[in-house]
């Protein structure tokens, strides 16, 4: 085993250059070092100008998503030894505007998310003095995996549709809409229907399934989308056949 | 052009988001804005695992939760604050349920609870072992319901603007553009969390650099009880990743190199095959971390490349319990330690986890500076005293986040508009950022070098056991580091997403907070809770049944004063566990 590994890091400094370049660094190759540890070693000891986001380094805050050797990864959970003998290529997430170096602009996701009403919608709220809404473990299982989304943007980076059409609302937003649609406490599915069945909603997805493969948390956005297409189809048949009150 | 908001919240974790919703509900006409140096769903609340305490079971009472919290605090918690906290926690947790938090359930659909360290009853609500993650995302998604809550994501607040004894705004830097803005405000609430990153080995995320504490301290507000630093007994070596206390409440054992459940030697009860509340592995965190040190001194720990460890044994729980109750523990162990807790022992060691101390506030989150509030780990009310009980911090964020939000809204509605005098202060700050930082000549030290030295100083002088000599040396070393930090080199001179500039500002915050910790620890000549002095090994209620308040003097030095602890119904007594 060699004791160092080469990292080829994508650089982009908009105040100095018009297009991204690649810079090479040698970092120690330690068995327990994640790609993020390599980046931190560069930042702390070699080059303070390298910019990237990170925080929890335990795979739950969703900050450190980057493209590692061509695949979207949480860099705190991708280990240098898995890329031996190197080089390890680190680039920003695809499909997003690059602000600088490895930092991408994710404002698009944050503008789309509220549109699917990602909160509990109810006709009437009961006061907390009346206790909890009962929900059995089975009812919870119906939406649980979709509640595991950490908003890391790996699925958007992997999604070929989003890459071509930035209007597509995208895998995580649809999964989060389904997280509430399938929650027994929620009554907002009808309110989410129009947006989800819009051409930029679920029908935009061509079911490539890259989102599900990229997800580091076992969420299945592709499954959420396919399942919702069925729901949406049923709704449109109902809308055609039934007067509004009975849908 | 100066941006104006009625209330500015600094920090978008559990406390900040809860405050935002409280303000939006209580005073929909007020303009409220969240400034966070990260997107709110990246906040460190996300890493909390085990649960949130709130009395719900028919066999539990508010008084029992109060007593557990007060005895856990080694009688340094303010009892009126603890009473209010315990009374309001269940309602706050139910509110989260109504907002969609996927709390784990009993088969009949009711909320499930688990046992937790130092708690005499099962009262810890949980969402498997990702409680903080679910709580944070539920709060964040619920705030999206309120379009009147403005968000400034990835803005770093560098200074509080205080004039005439009242806060009148903040100066903040937008990471994406590097522009520095003045934000005028009638009230400011600090919800920035803790400062675990002043230590080398911590569960805390990279962002936990004590920013709110430093902002308040420099603006003249005292920090309270800063010497009380919680070591969590079970962190993974190297990464410091937290293995939740829930692993022990579900039945995990702590064993030494001989396979012996060593806690029985430290007045924590006798080993039983199944968990016993307030006993052994379900003792309080301070006592368990201290027991580790004694075990190490006896040569009964295990030597690893990343220091001495003991083992957490979960094997007898089986895959089913681990996968339902502790799935994240298994995921973390597999991903980061390459071991499977179903079949292997988990190496663990004490790790810096939580600050009991923080910005001095009353029960409504108010600091001594008019219009300045604080809540969550950044604040010290104090309900946690000398040692916080596991699962009290998430409900603390909710109860006191809501309280501070309501109090700030009420204050802001009646407060005068910010005056123009603060503009001069604001331009000073803009100049400081441009001239002193971005245009600073290259100095002899890198930021990372000074930061690493600070962390070593803190571990050597303010660790689980402390003494006067080491603390005095630590104080001296920190003053030298503060000098060196002023001329540390910045490689990065650009305005666009300059993370090295942020690291320099964070380092400066951490050095101030670190000094506050050391100075308070040096002055407290007794041992209480998480503050253990080998040269003053017993609790001294005559001299130190009191909160430390550390003030920053105009010359940059520290002044320490003491304030009485509020006792209502529970006179100071002996902490008894395992009996």
Could you tell me which chain A residue has the CA closest to the CA of B448? A44
Between positions 106 and 125 of A, the ones with CB within 8 A of B are 106, 110, 113-114, 117-120, 125
Burial class (CB in 10 A: 0-12, 13-18, 19+), B28: exposed
Between positions 460 and 499 of B, the ones with CB within 8 A of A are 489-492, 494-499
Q: What is the ipTM of this complex?
A: 0.96
Q: How far apart are CA B578 and CA B361, in angstroms?
A: 34
Residue B232: active-site member: yes
CA nearest to B407, candidates B162, B150, B188: B188
Strand partners, B254: B312
Spell out which residues of chain A touch residue B109, defining contact as CB-CB under 8 Å.
Answer: 134-136, 139
> Is the CB of B447 less than 8 angstroms away from the CB of A48?
yes
Q: How far apart are CA B371 and CA B185, in angstroms?
A: 9
> Is the CB of B97 less than 8 angstroms away from the CB of A133?
yes
pLDDT for position B419: 87
Instruction: Tell me whether B304 touches chain A (CB under 8 Å).
Output: no
Residue B559: active-site member: no
Between positions 30 and 89 of A, the ones with CB within 8 A of B are 32, 43-45, 47-49, 51-63, 77
Could you tell me which chain A residue has the CA closest to the CA of B104? A137
Block means of pLDDT (10 residues each) for chain A, 247 residues, are: 88 96 97 96 97 98 98 97 96 98 98 98 95 98 97 98 95 97 97 92 90 96 93 80 58
Instruction: Tell me whether B105 touches chain A (CB under 8 Å).
Output: yes
B495 vs A15, A45, A151: nearest CB:
A15
pLDDT for position A247: 46
A49 vs B103, B130, B492: nearest CB:
B492
Instruction: Tell me whether A146 touches chain B (CB under 8 Å).
Output: no
pLDDT for position A243: 60
Could you tell me which chain B residue has the CA closest to the CA of A54? B206
> Is the CB of B107 less than 8 angstroms away from the CB of A103?
no
Q: What is the 3-state secondary structure (H, E, C) of chain A?
A: CCCEEEEEEEECCCCCCCCCEEEEEEEECCCCCEHHHHHHHHHHHHCCCCCCCCCCCCCCCCCCEEEECCEEEEHHHCEHHHHCCCCEEEECCCCCCEEECCEECCHHHHHHHHHHCCCCCCCCCCCHHHCCCCCCHHHHHHHHHHHHCCCCCHHHHHCHHHHHCCCCCCHHHHHHHHHHHCCCCCCCHHHHHHHHHCCCCHHHCCCCCHHHHHCCCCCCHHHHHHHHHHHHHHHHHHHHHCCHHHC
Smallest CA–CA distance, residue B318 to chain A, in Å, is: 20
In the predicted model, residues of chain B with pLDDT beneath 50 are: none
CB atoms within 10 A of CB B149: 19
> Is the CB of B44 less than 8 angstroms away from the CB of A61?
yes
CA nearest to A133, candidates A183, A192, A191: A183
Spell out which residues of chain B touch residue A63, defining contact as CB-CB under 8 Å.
Answer: 38, 42
Indicate which residue of B18, B232, B353, B403 is catalytic. Answer: B232
Instruction: Tell me whether A17 touches chain B (CB under 8 Å).
Output: no
Q: How far apart are CA A145 and CA A156, in angstroms?
A: 18
> Is the CB of A58 less than 8 angstroms away from the CB of B239?
yes
Q: What is the pLDDT of residues B262-274, one digit of tens each?
A: 999 999 999 999 9
Indicate which residue of B114, B197, B248, B403 is catalytic. Answer: B248
Taking the CA atoms of B327, B331, B337 and B340 in sequence, report the sign of the dihedral they define: positive
Could you tell me which chain A residue has the CA closest to the CA of B99? A120
B47 vs A15, A56, A119: nearest CB:
A56
Q: If you search the block for the tokens 């580790």, which residue do you land on? A: B292
> Is the CB of B145 less than 8 angstroms away from the CB of A58?
no
pLDDT for position A242: 67
């Amino acid at each position: 085993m060699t004791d160092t590994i080469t990292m080829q890091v994508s650089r982009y400094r908009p105040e100095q250059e018009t297009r991204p370049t690649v810079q090479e660094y040698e970092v120690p190759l330690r068995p327990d070092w994640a790609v993020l540890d390599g980046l931190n070693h560069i930042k702390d000891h070699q080059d303070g100008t390298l910019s990237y986001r990170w925080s929890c380094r335990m795979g739950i805050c969703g900050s450190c998503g980057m493209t590692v050797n061509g695949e979207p990864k949480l860099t705190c959970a991708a280990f240098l030894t898995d890329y031996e003998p190197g080089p390890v290529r680190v680039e920003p997430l695809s499909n997003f505007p690059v602000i600088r170096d490895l930092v991408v602009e994710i404002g698009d996701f944050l503008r789309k998310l509220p549109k699917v009403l990602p909160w509990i919608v109810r006709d009437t709220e009961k006061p907390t003095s009346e206790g909890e809404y009962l929900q059995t473990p089975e009812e919870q299982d119906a939406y649980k995996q979709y509640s595991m989304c950490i908003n890391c943007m790996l699925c958007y980076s992997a999604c070929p549709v989003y890459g071509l059409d930035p209007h597509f609302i995208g895998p995580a937003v649809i999964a989060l809409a389904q997280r509430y649609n399938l929650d027994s406490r929620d009554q907002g599915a009808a309110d989410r229907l129009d947006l989800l069945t819009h051409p930029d909603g679920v029908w935009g997805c061509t079911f490539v399934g890259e989102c599900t493969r990229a997800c580091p948390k076992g969420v299945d956005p592709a499954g959420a989308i396919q399942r919702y297409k069925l729901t949406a189809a049923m709704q449109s048949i109902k809308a055609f056949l039934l007067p509004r009150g009975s849908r | 052009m100066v941006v104006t908001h009625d209330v500015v919240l600094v920090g978008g974790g559990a406390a900040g988001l809860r405050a935002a919703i409280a303000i939006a509900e209580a005073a929909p006409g007020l303009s409220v804005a969240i400034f966070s140096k990260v997107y709110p769903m990246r906040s460190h609340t996300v890493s909390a695992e085990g649960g949130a305490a709130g009395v719900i079971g028919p066999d539990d009472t508010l008084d029992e939760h109060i007593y557990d919290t007060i005895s856990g605090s080694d009688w340094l918690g303010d009892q009126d604050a603890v009473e209010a906290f315990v009374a309001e926690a269940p309602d706050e947790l139910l509110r989260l349920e109504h907002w969609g938090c996927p709390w784990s359930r009993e088969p009949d659909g009711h909320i499930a609870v688990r046992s937790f360290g130092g708690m005499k009853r099962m009262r810890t609500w949980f969402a498997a072992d990702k409680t903080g993650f679910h709580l944070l995302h539920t709060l964040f998604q619920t705030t999206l319901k309120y379009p009147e809550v403005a968000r400034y994501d990835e803005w770093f607040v560098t200074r509080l603007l205080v004039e005439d004894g009242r806060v009148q705004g903040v100066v903040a830097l937008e990471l994406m553009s590097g522009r520095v803005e003045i934000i005028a405000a009638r009230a400011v609430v600090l919800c920035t969390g803790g400062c675990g990153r002043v230590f080398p080995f911590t569960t805390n995320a990279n962002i936990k650099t004590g920013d709110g504490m430093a902002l308040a301290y420099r603006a003249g507000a005292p920090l309270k009880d800063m010497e009380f630093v919680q070591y969590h007994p079970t962190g993974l070596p190297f990464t410091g990743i937290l293995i939740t206390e829930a692993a022990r409440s579900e039945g995990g054992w702590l064993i030494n190199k001989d396979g012996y459940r060593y806690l029985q030697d430290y007045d924590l009860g006798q080993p039983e095959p199944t968990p016993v509340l307030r006993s052994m592995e379900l003792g309080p965190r301070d006592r368990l971390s201290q027991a580790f040190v004694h075990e190490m001194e006896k040569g009964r720990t295990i030597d690893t490349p990343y220091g001495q460890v003991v083992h957490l044994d979960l094997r007898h729980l089986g895959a089913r319990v681990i996968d339902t109750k502790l799935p994240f523990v298994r995921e973390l162990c597999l991903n980061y330690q390459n071991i499977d807790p179903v079949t292997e022992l988990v190496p663990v060691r004490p790790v810096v986890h939580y600050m009991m101390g923080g910005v001095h506030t009353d029960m409504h989150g108010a600091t001594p500076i008019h219009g300045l509030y604080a809540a969550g780990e950044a604040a010290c009310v104090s309900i946690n005293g000398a040692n916080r009980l596991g699962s009290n911090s998430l409900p603390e964020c909710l109860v006191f986040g809501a309280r501070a939000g309501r109090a700030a809204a009420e204050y802001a509605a009646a407060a005068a508009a910010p005056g123009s005098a603060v503009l001069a202060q604001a331009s000073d700050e803009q100049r400081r950022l441009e001239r002193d930082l971005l245009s600073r000549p290259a100095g002899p030290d890198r930021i990372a070098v000074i930061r690493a030295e600070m962390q070593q100083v803190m571990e050597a002088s303010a660790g689980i056991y402390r003494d006067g000599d080491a603390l005095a040396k630590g104080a001296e070393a920190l003053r030298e580091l503060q000098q060196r930090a002023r001329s540390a080199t910045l490689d990065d001179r650009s305005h666009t997403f300059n993370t090295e500039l942020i690291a320099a500002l964070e380092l400066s915050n951490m050095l101030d907070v670190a000094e506050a910790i050391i100075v308070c620890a040096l002055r407290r000549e007794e041992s209480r809770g998480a503050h253990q002095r080998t040269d003053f090994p017993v609790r001294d209620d005559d001299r130190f049944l009191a909160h430390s308040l550390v003030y920053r003097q105009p010359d940059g030095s520290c002044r320490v004063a003491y304030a009485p602890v509020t006792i209502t119904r529970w006179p100071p007594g002996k902490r008894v566990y395992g009996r």
